[in-house]
């Protein structure tokens, strides 16, 4: 068994243990971070060996120093290992949970460690003293304790300060790294989610606009009129082509002019009139001064489709759809009136309307309103778009 196998075995065992430990003790994000750190350290073998060698070197140096200062060997080893373990743990927890360390927790740990170390140092001094002078110690106990404390205090002050500085530094550095990563992540996710929302709305629009039943019902009529040599076939096919071309071109843009949108609506109404015959009558009137107003593509079309699909087509008598764009006291309005079936008692916004509201809000913010109201016979949809403040007053 080579060295690699041994390290692999240990690595595996360590990871299994660590994973359980992290899950039990750390918040989810810190646990994930710890695993990432582990994986990196373990993969980067130099770091692992370096850390291990550093720790061993530290322990050896510390033992030699303590023995030189008069500690017995076993105690020196124990103290050194404990101190090294403390340093590594402190460093690691500072790395993994910088916020906790920079908060009150770090102080508490350091004070506690200090108290333990202080007690340890005093016991060590007393033991050393006893070893040198024999048992029972000569002199009075309070005097001995005082001497021990005096001896241990500066060592301790330095140790505590060192530990504290180490932890704070590590935690602070780590927090900087995390903050940077977080900002980056937030930026990326904001950009992603905005892009996704826009893409979803557009996809819904495309899917909603070119519904299979619309296409196949229209093709069914075209097919029959072509088969039977009816001139209406050619006209309907021409309108369908123009409508599909308009849809695929306009719906891919971020905005279109009212004139372009009205042209697409015109093709749609011509198709539906061809299919429904005299059950559908329609009028489109766009005030010439509004022709170049810009709006999201498909907005008007969706409302006109609603009027036809849910108002006129299900009505036994059929009816009329009137589309009007006109200036008003504050900005301009777009109205779609139909004399069809009307809103049922349990009517509520469907997917199409929700999508329309969302896109309207995205394009105009607070400046636009969409209202759907029942008419004596049928339904009225009204969009009001107010001018941007500053331009208006």
Partner 1 sequence: MSPLTALIADDEEAPRAQLRAALAKAWPELGVVAECVNGVDAWDAFLEHEPAVCFLDIRMPGLSGIEVAQRIDGRVPVVFVTAHGDHALAAFDAGAVDYVLKPVDPERLGQAVARARSRLAQPEHGAAQAPGVADLLARLAAEVGHQARRPATLDVIQAGVGKEVRLIRIDEVIYFESDARYTRVVHEGGEALIRTPLKELLAQLDAQRFWQVHRSVIVNHRHISAAVRVDEGNMHLTLRGRPEKLPVSRHFQGLFKGQ
Smaller CB separation from partner 1, 232 or 281: 232
Instruction: For residue 123, give every residue at least 6 positions away whose Cβ sits within 8 Å of its Cβ, in sequence order, or none.
Output: none
Does residue 229 belong to the site contacting partner 1 (CB under 8 A)?
no
Identified binder of partner 1 from the candidate list 247, 310, 364, 370, rule CB under 8 A: 310
Residues 365-384 binding partner 1 (CB under 8 A) are none
Q: Candidates 154-162, 165-173, 260-268, 339-347 — which segment interacts with partner 1 by CB under 8 A? A: 339-347
Q: Candidates 39-47, 55-63, 143-151, 343-351 — which segment interacts with partner 1 by CB under 8 A? A: 343-351
Smaller CB separation from partner 1, 225 or 243: 225
Shortest CB 263 distance to partner 1, Å: 24
Number of residues in contact with partner 1 under rule CB under 8 A: 30
Instruction: For residue 260, give every residue at least 6 positions away whose Cβ sits within 8 Å of its Cβ, in sequence order, or none.
Output: 246, 250, 297
Does residue 341 belong to the site contacting partner 1 (CB under 8 A)?
yes
Query: 331 is written with which tokens?
Result: 């900005």
Shortest CB 314 distance to partner 1, Å: 5
Smaller CB separation from partner 1, 196 or 224: 224
Residues 273-292 binding partner 1 (CB under 8 A) are 275-277, 279
Smaller CB separation from partner 1, 24 or 316: 316
Does residue 227 belong to the site contacting partner 1 (CB under 8 A)?
yes
Shortest CB 306 distance to partner 1, Å: 10
Does residue 316 belong to the site contacting partner 1 (CB under 8 A)?
yes
Residues 28-57 binding partner 1 (CB under 8 A) are none
| Site mask for partner 1 (CB under 8 A), range 169-208, x = bound | ----------------------------------------
Shortest CB 16 distance to partner 1, Å: 47
Does residue 210 belong to the site contacting partner 1 (CB under 8 A)?
no
d(CA 92, CA 23): 16
Q: Candidates 137-145, 181-189, 259-267, 271-279 — which segment interacts with partner 1 by CB under 8 A? A: 271-279
Interface residues with partner 1 (CB under 8 A)?
A: 212-213, 215-217, 219-221, 223-225, 227-228, 232, 275-277, 279, 310-311, 313-316, 341-345, 347
């Amino acid at each position: 068994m080579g060295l690699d196998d041994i390290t692999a075995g240990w690595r595996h065992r360590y990871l299994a243990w660590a994973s359980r430990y992290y899950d039990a003790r750390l918040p989810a994000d810190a646990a994930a971070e710890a695993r990432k750190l582990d994986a990196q350290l373990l993969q980067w073998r130099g770091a692992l060996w370096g850390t291990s060698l550093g720790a061993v070197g530290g322990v050896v140096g510390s033992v030699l120093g303590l023995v030189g200062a008069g500690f017995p060997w076993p105690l020196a080893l124990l103290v050194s290992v404990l101190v090294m373990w403390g340093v590594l743990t402190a460093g690691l927890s500072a790395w993994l949970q910088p916020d906790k360390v920079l908060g009150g927790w770090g102080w508490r740990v350091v004070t506690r460690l200090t108290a333990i170390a202080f007690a340890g140092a005093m016991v060590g001094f007393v033991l050393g003293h006893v070893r040198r002078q024999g048992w029972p110690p000569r002199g009075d106990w309070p005097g001995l304790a005082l001497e021990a404390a005096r001896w241990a205090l500066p060592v301790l002050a330095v140790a505590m300060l060192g530990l504290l500085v180490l932890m704070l530094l590590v935690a602070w550095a780590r927090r900087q790294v995390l903050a940077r990563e977080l900002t980056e992540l937030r930026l990326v996710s904001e950009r992603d989610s905005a892009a996704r929302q826009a893409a979803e709305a557009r996809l819904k629009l495309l899917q909603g606009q070119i519904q299979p039943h619309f296409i196949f019902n229209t093709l069914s009529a075209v097919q029959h009129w072509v088969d039977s040599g009816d001139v209406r076939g050619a006209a309907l096919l021409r309108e369908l082509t123009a409508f599909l071309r308009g849809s695929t071109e306009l719906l891919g843009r971020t905005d279109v002019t009212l004139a372009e949108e009205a042209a697409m609506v015109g093709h749609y109404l011509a198709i539906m009139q061809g299919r429904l015959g005299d059950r559908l009558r329609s009028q489109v009137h766009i005030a010439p001064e509004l022709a170049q107003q810009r709006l999201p593509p498909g907005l008007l079309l969706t409302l006109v489709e609603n009027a036809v699909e849910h108002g006129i087509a299900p009505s036994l008598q059929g009816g009329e759809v009137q589309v009007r764009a006109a200036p008003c006291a504050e900005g301009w309005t777009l109205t779609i009136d139909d004399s069809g079936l009307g809103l049922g008692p349990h009517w509520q916004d469907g997917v199409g309307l929700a999508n329309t509201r969302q896109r309207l809000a995205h394009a105009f913010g607070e400046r636009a309103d969409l209202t759907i109201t029942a008419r004596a016979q049928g339904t009225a949809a009204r969009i009001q778009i107010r001018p941007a403040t500053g331009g208006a007053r």
